[in-house]
Chain A
Amino acid sequence: MKLKNILERIALLTAAEKDKQLEEYKQLKKLLKELRKKRNELEEKIAGEDDIDRCKELQDKLKIIDTQRRKGLDLLKELKESRKSS
């Protein structure tokens, strides 16, 4: 009976973990989409910006987003593979 209870709890935990992973996956996709949109906005602003300091600021922001997107895409891939294997 005790073993059965333990197995039931593990099953519940696993199911909860799967739900959490799915939620993370969805949120990450949404976040990456927002970052891509922001990236496009920044590119447009840079194209039309004459002020050197302002241009540098926008370019730095663009680099931040690019790095975050790259990391986000790697994480998305990991989550996808983790979901397939479980």
Chain B
Amino acid sequence: MALMRKLLLPVILVLLGYAFWLSTDITQIAAGVAIFLFGMVALEDGFQRFSGGLLERLLNHSTNRLWKALNFGIITTTLMQSSSLVSVLTISFLSAGLINLAAGIGIIFGANLGTTTGAWLVAGFGLKVDLATYAMPMLVFGIVMIFQKSPVLKGIGWVLSGIGFLFLGIHYMKEGFDAFRDTINLSAYAVPGLKGLLLFTLLGVVATVVMQSSHATLILTITALAAQQITYENALAISIGANMGTTITAIIGSISANIAGKRLAVAHLIFNLLTGLIAIIFIQQLLIAVESISDLTGIADDNYALRLAVFHTLFNLLGVILMMPFVSWLVKLLEWLLREPESVVVKPKYLNDAALESPQAAIEVVRKESERLYDLATRIIAHGIGWQKRDVLGQDDLNLLIENRQMPPSEDFDKAYATHIKYIYSAIVQFVIRARERITGTSGENLQGYSRALYDLVTAIKNIKHLQKNLLNFINSNNNDIKDAYNNLRKLVATTMRRIQEAREIDDTTEAMLILDHTLLQIEEDSMTTSDRIEPLIRSHSISAEMATSLMIDTEYAHNACRNLIAMAKVLFTGRDSTTVQLDQDIELNKDEMASIIQPDNPDS
């Protein structure tokens, strides 16, 4: 399979080279296709630069109902003349959990309908006028704007150039087929009947897979049809094939997506295959419908290009009408077919390559995965201090929990870290590095902020690991003083986690920060009074010197763990962007300032 993939490109190049040597007309047609495809790339790039997050914001607000999602798919694909950009963004948002699967399916249905407008544009307008006349000024103005500094002007430039290249590509395809007619008549190779239908459908699939664009296949077909190089019936079959072929691109693209992205790609495949099948089975009925609509709208009997556009829109519309009532059923089927696989090592749930296409999606998946990592970590930390997670984060008095003397949960700390933390942490760090290769500015800094926050979390876990060794031993000690001292450390860590949970749950970010700052103040107060608590115990021989040194080091581990957790929470749970996080750090109280609050009468503070 790998060998076939490696050979595919050289084979295509050789075939193309041979075809060009055979005929200059083929060269012109192929060049027209190449320029058209480049135009689509430029248009996509332009919209991405120009919209700068607008599309993502629209996606966020326009998809809470199925009909809205459908409209969104139709409108955006019509404007951008590219269903692939819309599909990629949809998979990206779906993978990030910003939209649900039903909304994603609605968008894909809409994109399928929207893509039919391209055929109308070319058949209705593109074939009648000299597109090169319009293309050239667009290209000139577009290129001039691309060289401007303003990102908005650059974006407009790419959009204009994209449209210019599209027009120019269509122009060369037209010219190429017109000239080709004089040397060879491809319509002589037409295959009638069912055989022709199936053969040319397959040709449409292959052409779309090779060119990675159903749009290009369709435009090529329309220009060939206009030049009478293919028959009307065979052109219809190619358009069915192009619809089916576009799903192969989506399937290939979903390989790197998470389970949600894969489900959407399969939904796309099911829809397009079903639509194609319906079109093949009911082709005669559809042709009658095309005739009726064409007569009603005044399309001439010999205007096969426009009739092809009608057919293309009709069978896609039919597919949408038939499938829309069954979307919720389709969602259940997909969730049943493609289930989340179970694994011993906990793998990332939200991270996926599709999310890299959009800064907002990338930030969202990193945020969700980071929060998930924290939730996994709280269980390990709770066990590390000898409690269940529900006890640590619950409302019960911690002194009562200590008195109950429940057996601490037994868990291999290192194994828990290896299976639940390390893999996801590494994956998030790697994802952020990859995302920052294409995402810059504030969004890039936000991502980096999450990475640093997770470093704090993992450092906190390591501190708890060091603390655990003596803690689980001394909380069962007969020596009440050492037992009380270590229980106080447990209460300190548990209280910190409860305050973090409190900050996480409130909407007021200023209040959340204040809760965290106050908790930090309490930790510093505890830190400042450590030696005042331990020294009397040593002097009175209540604890041995060895116990005392263990206690002092373990107290520092506990304090550091709490400080790390608070630093992490300030980034992860307060919803602040990187600029505000930096400002928070600039005005954060230092140790001296905290000391002056804790011990206001102390002249040294």
Contacts and interface: CB of A to CB of B under 8 A. Distances in A.
Given A28-B583, A75-B586, A67 B514 contact: no
A65 B510 CA distance: 10
Interface string B162-175: 00000000000000
B518 interface: yes
Contacts of A60: 518, 521, 597
A67 B511 contact: no
Interface string B481-518: 00000000000000000000000000000110010011
Contacts of A24: 579, 582-583
Contacts of B514: 38, 61, 64-65
B588 interface: yes
Interface in A14-65: 23-24, 27-28, 31, 34-35, 37-38, 57, 60-61, 63-65
Nearest to B577: A27
Given A23-B579, A24-B583, A27-B579, A61 B518 contact: yes
Contact of B587 (A23, A38, A63, A68): A68
B597 A67 contact: yes
A57 B580 CA distance: 25
Contacts of A27: 579-580, 583
A63 B582 CA distance: 21
B589 interface: yes
Contacts of A31: 580, 583-584, 587
A75 B579 contact: no
Nearest to B510: A34
A41 B597 CA distance: 20
A83 B579 CA distance: 17
By secondary structure, the B interface counts as helix
Q: Is the interface of A mostly helix, strand, loop or mixed?
A: helix
A75 B587 contact: yes
B593 interface: yes
A9 interface: no
Interface string B564-605: 000000000000000110111011110001000100000000
Contacts of A28: 583
Determine the interface band of chain A, counting residues with CB < 8 A from chain B: 20 to 34
A71 interface: yes
A63 B586 contact: no
Interface string B504-541: 00000011001001100100000000000000000000
Nearest to A41: B511
Given A23-B579, A68-B589, A63 B510 contact: no
B441 to A, nearest CB: 10
A35 to B, nearest CB: 7
Nearest to A58: B518
A68 B588 contact: yes
A64 B597 contact: yes
B583 A67 contact: no
Nearest to B522: A60
A65 B587 CA distance: 10
Contacts of A57: 518
A38 B511 contact: yes
Contacts of B580: 27, 31
A31 to B, nearest CB: 6
Contacts of A67: 589, 593, 597
A64 B518 contact: yes
A69 B513 CA distance: 14
Contacts of A65: 514
A74 to B, nearest CB: 9
Contacts of B584: 31
A64 B511 contact: no
Given A31-B580, A38-B510, A64 B587 contact: no
Nearest to B588: A68
A27 B586 CA distance: 13
Nearest to A64: B517
Contacts of B579: 23-24, 27
A2 B153 CA distance: 26
Contacts of A61: 514, 517-518
A28 B588 CA distance: 13
B195 to A, nearest CB: 63
A29 to B, nearest CB: 10
A19 to B, nearest CB: 10
Given A57-B518, A60-B521, A61-B518, A72 B587 contact: yes
Nearest to B586: A75
Given A23-B579, A34-B510, A60-B597, A71 B518 contact: no
B532 to A, nearest CB: 19
Nearest to A16: B441
B266 to A, nearest CB: 44
A83 B418 CA distance: 49
19 contacts: A24-B579, A24-B582, A27-B580, A31-B583, A31-B584, A34-B510, A38-B510, A57-B518, A60-B521, A61-B514, A61-B518, A64-B514, A64-B517, A67-B589, A67-B597, A68-B517, A68-B587, A68-B588, A75-B583
Given A60-B518, A65-B514, 5 more contacts: A37-B510, A68-B587, A69-B587, A71-B586, A72-B587
Q: List the 8 closest A-B pairs by CB distance, nearest first.
A: A71-B587, A68-B587, A34-B510, A63-B597, A72-B587, A38-B510, A27-B579, A64-B517
Interface of B: 510-511, 514, 517-518, 521, 579-580, 582-584, 586-589, 593, 597
